[in-house]
Amino acid sequence: MRHSTMKIRALYAACMLSLFTGPALAEVTVLGWPGGPEEVALRAAADAYNAKADLADADKVELLFFNRDGFWDKLQADLAAGSTAFDINLLATYSIGRYAPFMEPIALSDEAKAVYGDSVLATMQYQGEQYGVPTDLSLHFMYYRKDLIDALLNDDAAKAKYAEIAEKHLGKKLEPKQPDAWDWDDYTATALYFTQAVNPDSPTRYGTVLQMKNLLFNIMVWQSLPRAYGADWRDDGGKITVNSDAYRKGLEVYKLLYDAGATPRDSLSYEFAEANAAYASGQVAAMLQWNAAAGDLTSTEKSPAVAEVTDTVAPPSGPAGRFTHIHGLGFGLNKNAENKDGAVRFLKWLSSKEAALIYARNNGAPALTPEVVAEVAGERPDLVKLGEFAGKYGYVMNGGTSAKALSVYELQAKEFTGYWSGQQSLDDALANTEKGMADLLKE
């Protein structure tokens, strides 16, 4: 055999081999959120989908995960580069507008509305179009020590001290109440009462723990406070409305608590993990935290000091109502998907009741309507509150799904932490935020 012919055949064989060794067994590739309950739930859902007898091999689902660190930045770069490495990708409420130019709207199953409800479906909408299936929802609970609150409510001397502290710091006498009836003044007064720097007899070192690190997620935790006073990013006409009494009140409450020592002095570097550690130590009376912390903080193994005396309610209310920030993680369609039909079929199934229940039973956190969540309430009691709070108190700021939503949160985090840390005045922080948001959100 001639040498050149041998070379051509060897090359041909190598090409054929490479075809069979590539990821060709599954045709719908899904880029998921790695390393947490979301991954476990997605794997279970994909297994159930792939096990369907009537599913063509070409439509089977393969999952793809990379690291959480910098996930959204990497996804942005991949989508912008027109990547075909995945057909379906993860997206979040606050980043839909950023990714929408590289994605396509989708049609959900007929059951989707009855499974999730309008407010939850809205977390995956952008400019009136549905861009994703809302598989996991995040919102905030107020975690509190019921043993401490009960003791306070049953002690007249403590009540008198509470009223005295409230009058001194808030300018009005308040009476302690059950946490489910708190407004933000009650929250503030309770936080001060349980702070040793304010009340040396307090059984805890701090009344609360605030997450004040210059981080966008911390603004999401905080903003339910001004929202309870009517805050929004902009009005219906598109005018930026952050320079308002509502924002002013929300910022001042945090500043007051920080300056009074009601939260650890290092709170300006605290985020999710630090706040959990502080609360779990037993030295904090109440805090606002993501629902994702519920598992750890009520586990006697992980939080022995507080697990059995911790309860959760929705965040406190204000004159404009009671609110909890919500955002969802979900899955949507890559505009450059190679198997678009298969991807659309999977997404439609993923929005069905069958898929939602599988997802819920396997550690996922979908916010389901009361009728649907009742079917898994025995196994996942936490999802009952999640669905209830999302439906009753959930909100998304006007502009919260826009292309620059993340940048708005970043801007607020920078300006507001600047005020809390005493580096700039409240007026400057609000004026800078208003100006920055006007640039970011201009149509």
Interface with other proteins (CB under 8 A): 70, 73, 76-77, 79-81, 98, 101-102, 212-216, 264-266, 268-269, 274, 277-278, 280-281, 283, 404, 406-407, 410-411, 414-415, 417-424
CB-wise, 380 or 404, nearer to other proteins?
A: 404
CB of 417 to other proteins, least distance (A): 4
Burial of 55 (0-12, 13-18, 19+ CB in 10 A): middle
Looking at beta carbons only, is 14 or 81 nearer to other proteins?
81
Angle formed at CA 252 by CA 186 and CA 234, multiple of 5 degrees: 105
Considering beta carbons, is residue 398 or 424 the nearer one to other proteins?
A: 424
For the packed helices 156-170 and 146-153, what is the interaxial angle rounded to 10 degrees? 100
With contact defined as beta carbons under 8 Å apart, do 185 and 256 qualify?
no
Shortest Cβ 414–other proteins spacing (Å): 5
Instruction: Report the C-alpha gap between 42 and 30 in whole angstroms.
Output: 9
What's the closest the beta carbon of residue 265 comes to other proteins, in angstroms? 3
Rounded CA-CA distance 330/49 in Å is 17
Sorted by sequence, the CB contacts under 8 Å of residue 8 that are 6+ apart come out as: none
Q: To the nearest whole angstrom, how small is the minimum distance from the Cβ of residue 40 to other proteins?
A: 24
Q: Is 256 helix (H, G, I), strand (E, B) or coil?
A: helix
**C-alpha closest to that of 108 among 349, 383, 287:** 349
Between 75 and 189, name the residue whose CB sits nearer to other proteins.
75
Q: Between 183 and 410, whose beta carbon lies closer to other proteins?
A: 410
As measured in angstroms, the least distance from the Cβ of 21 to other proteins is: 29
Please state, in angstroms and rounded to a whole number, the distance separating the CA atoms of residues 355 and 61: 14
Question: Please, which residue, 50 or 281, has the CB nearer to other proteins?
Answer: 281
Q: CA–CA separation, 393 vs 122, rounded Å?
A: 14
**CB 419, min distance to other proteins, A:** 8
Q: Which residue has the tokens 């809205």?
A: 122
